[in-house]
A and B are shown apart, each in its own frame.
Chain A
Amino acid sequence: MKKTPNYFWPSKPNVNFHKLLLTLKIMTILLVCGLVLPAYSLTPGNLSADEQQIKVSGTITDGSTNLPMPGVNIQVKGTGTGAISETNGMYTITVTDKNAILVFSFIGYVTQEVPVNGRTVVDIVLSAVTTNLDEVVVVGYSAQKRANVVGSVASISGTTLQQVPSVNVSNSLGGRMSGISVLQETGEPGQITPRILIRGRSTLGGTRGGEPGTTGVTQTRPLIVIDGVQGRSMDEIDPMDIASISVLKDAAASIYGSNAANGVILITTKKGAEGKPRLNYQFYQGWMTPTIIPETTNAQEYAQMLTEYQVQNGKSRSYTDKDIELFGSGVDPWEHPNTNWYNDLIKDWTTTYRHNFTIDGGFKGMTYYLSFGLKGDESMYKQSSTKYTQYNVRAKVDLPITDWLSTGIDIAGFQIHKLYPYKSADGIVGQSTRLLPTRWSFWPTGEPGPDIEYGDNPVVTSTFAGGKNDQMTYRYLNTFNASIKPPFIKGLSLNGSYSYDLNNYYNKAFYQPWTLYTADFSKATRDPNTGFIVSQPLTPGLRGLSSPQNNETYNRTINETINLNVVYSKKFGAHSISLYGGFEQYTSDYNQLYGFRQYYISTLIQTMDAGADQDKNTTGTASIYARKSWIGRATYDYKGKYLAEVLFRRDGSLKFPPDSRWGNFPGLLLGWRASEEDFWKNNIAFINYFKLRASYGKMGMDPGNPFQYTNSFGLSSGMVFGTGSSIETAVGPPVIANPNITWETQTTQNIGFESKFANDLFHLNFEVFYNKREDILAPRDASVPGFSGLSLPNENIAQVDNKGFEIDGGVHKNITADLRIDLTANYSYNHNNVVFQDEPKRSVEWQQTTGHPYGAWLMYNAIGIFKDQAEIDGYPHWSTAKPGDVKFEDYNNDGKIDGDDRILIDQCDAPNSYYGVNLDASYKNFTLSVLVQGQGKYLRFNHYDERRGEAGNYFKWTYDNRWTPENTVTNIARAFNRNDYYWGHAVNMSTYWLSNVAYCRLKSLVLTYNIPSTLYKKLGIANASVYVSGNNLALIYSAEKIFDPEVNGAGVYPAMKTFAIGANIGF
Chain B
Amino acid sequence: MKKISNYIIGFAVLIFTATSCTDVLDQQPVNTFNQDVVFSDINVVKSYLGKCYDRMGGNTDNGVLGMREDLLSDATDQTLCIHRPANYGNLKGTLSPDYGGYFTNTGYAGFLMWDNIYANLQNITTIIANIDAVKVTTSTDEALKVRLKGEAYFLRAYSYSMLLMNYGGVVLMDKPNTLTQDYQTMTRSTIAQTKDFILADIASAITNLTGQTIEQGRATPAAAAALKSRVLLFCASKLTNGGYTGQESNTLVSFPAGSQTALLQAARDASKAVMDGTYGAFSLVGTTTEPVLPLTSAQIKTYSETYQNIFIQKGKWNSETIWGIQYPLTGGNVNNANIWFGPCGYHNWGNNDPTEPAVRSFEMADGTPFVWDKYTPGDQYLRKATAAELAADPNRSPYNGREPRFYAIVLYHGAPWQARPSDVVPYDPNNLVQSGHFYLNDEKTVRALGCDTRQGPVENWNGTKTGYYLKKFLDPTSAGQFYRNTTTWVEFRYAEILLNYAEACIELGGADLQNGINALNLVRRRAGLPSRSLASNQATARTYLRQERAIEFFAEGHRWYDLRRWMTFKDVVSNVYGMKVKQMDNGNYEWKLDLTDNEDSRTWGGDKYYWLPLTRTEMNKAPNLQPQPGY
Residues of A within 8 A of B (CB): 313-316, 318, 404-405, 436, 450-455, 484, 486-488, 494, 496, 516-523, 537, 539-543, 545-546, 562, 564, 583, 585, 587, 596, 598, 615-617, 621-624, 626-628, 652-654, 658, 661, 706-707, 710-723, 725-734, 736, 780-793, 840-843, 879-880, 898-899, 950-952, 978-980, 984, 986-987
Contacts and interface: CB of A to CB of B under 8 A. Distances in A.
B457 interface: yes
B47 A652 contact: no
B51 A979 contact: no
A211 to B, nearest CB: 14
Interface in B23-81: 24-27, 29-35, 37-38, 44, 47-48, 50-55, 64
Contact of B54 (A658, A730, A782, A986): A730
B179 A790 contact: yes
A537 B425 CA distance: 12
B486 to A, nearest CB: 7
Given A518-B423, A713-B38, A728 B183 contact: no
A361 to B, nearest CB: 29
A661 B24 CA distance: 12
B579 to A, nearest CB: 11
A992 to B, nearest CB: 17
Q: Looking at chain B, what size class is its interface with the partner chain?
A: 35 or more
Q: Which 4 A-B pairs have the closest CB atoms?
A: A789-B122, A541-B423, A899-B98, A520-B426
A518 B216 contact: no
B215 A722 contact: yes
A980 B82 CA distance: 10
A881 to B, nearest CB: 13
25 contacts: A314-B598, A318-B455, A452-B459, A488-B4, A494-B8, A516-B423, A518-B457, A522-B426, A626-B24, A658-B26, A713-B37, A714-B31, A718-B47, A718-B53, A719-B333, A725-B486, A732-B51, A733-B52, A785-B618, A787-B115, A788-B177, A788-B181, A789-B119, A899-B97, A987-B87
B318 to A, nearest CB: 12
B483 A727 contact: no
Nearest to A843: B616
B464 interface: no
Given A583-B15, A785-B625, A316 B618 contact: no
A787 B479 contact: no
Most buried by B among A487, A721, A732, A978: A732
Interface stretch (B322-330, B393-401, B468-476): B322-330
Contacts of B84: 978-979
Given A719-B217, A732-B48, A790-B177, A785 B183 contact: yes
Interface string B88-128: 00000100111100000011100000110011111101100
Contacts, number: 324
A25 B612 CA distance: 72
A622 B454 contact: no
Contacts of B601: 313, 880
A899 B48 contact: no
B332 A453 contact: no
Most-contacted residue by chain B among A405, A622, A718 (CB, 10 A): A718
A451 B38 CA distance: 48
Contacts of B625: 785, 787
Nearest to A517: B423
Contacts of A732: 38, 47-48, 51-52, 123
B320 interface: no
B35 A719 contact: no
A731 B51 CA distance: 6
A653 B618 contact: no
Given A450-B458, A455-B481, A718-B51, A789 B332 contact: no
Contact of B447 (A522, A598, A781): A522
A436 B455 CA distance: 13
A518 B331 contact: no
Given A516-B423, A628-B24, A730 B87 contact: no
Contacts of A786: 114-115, 118, 615, 617-618, 621
Contact of A622 (B19, B30, B598, B622): B30
Given A451-B347, A736-B179, A787-B618, A950 B454 contact: yes
A729 B331 CA distance: 11
A842 B623 CA distance: 12
A840 B462 contact: no
B438 to A, nearest CB: 8
Contacts of A455: 347, 481
Contact of A719 (B50, B115, B598, B621): B50
B18 interface: yes
Contacts of A313: 598, 601
Given A496-B14, A718-B53, A731-B51, A707 B328 contact: no
A843 B328 contact: no
A617 B38 contact: no
Given A731-B33, A785-B621, A840-B617, A541 B421 contact: yes
A717 B330 CA distance: 11
A522 to B, nearest CB: 5
B25 A654 contact: yes
A980 B86 contact: yes
A565 to B, nearest CB: 10
Given A314-B596, A840-B617, A789 B121 contact: yes
A194 B173 CA distance: 47
Given A707-B32, A843-B620, A521 B448 contact: yes
B609 interface: no
Given A711-B35, A714-B31, A725-B329, A521 B315 contact: no
A842 B621 CA distance: 9
Contact of A721 (B99, B173, B186, B216): B216
B213 to A, nearest CB: 11
A731 B44 contact: yes
B257 to A, nearest CB: 28
Given A316-B580, A616-B330, 18 more contacts: A314-B598, A450-B423, A520-B427, A583-B19, A626-B24, A653-B25, A654-B25, A713-B33, A713-B35, A716-B54, A719-B325, A719-B332, A722-B217, A726-B328, A727-B328, A785-B183, A789-B121, A790-B119
Given A624-B27, A788-B181, A713 B32 contact: yes
Residue from A318, A453, A517, A951 with most neighbouring chain B CB atoms (10 Å): A453
Given A453-B347, A661-B25, A723-B216, A484 B31 contact: no
B171 interface: yes
Interface in B2-30: 4, 7-8, 11, 14-15, 18-19, 24-27, 29-30
B461 A436 contact: yes
A316 B34 contact: no
B422 A539 contact: yes
A87 B97 CA distance: 78
Given A732-B51, A733-B51, A734-B35, A899 B107 contact: no
Given A585-B18, A734-B35, A617 B86 contact: no
Contacts of A314: 596-598
B52 to A, nearest CB: 8
A316 B86 CA distance: 19
Contacts of B455: 318
Given A313-B598, A719-B326, A654 B27 contact: yes
Given A522-B447, A728-B50, A454 B481 contact: yes
A405 B7 contact: yes
Interface centre among B8, B54, B97 (most CB of A within 10 A): B54
Contacts of B125: 789
Given A488-B4, A730-B50, A623 B31 contact: yes
A49 B624 CA distance: 104
Contacts of B181: 788
Contacts of B170: 787
A857 to B, nearest CB: 15
Nearest to B484: A615
Given A496-B14, A780-B179, A787-B118, A315 B327 contact: no
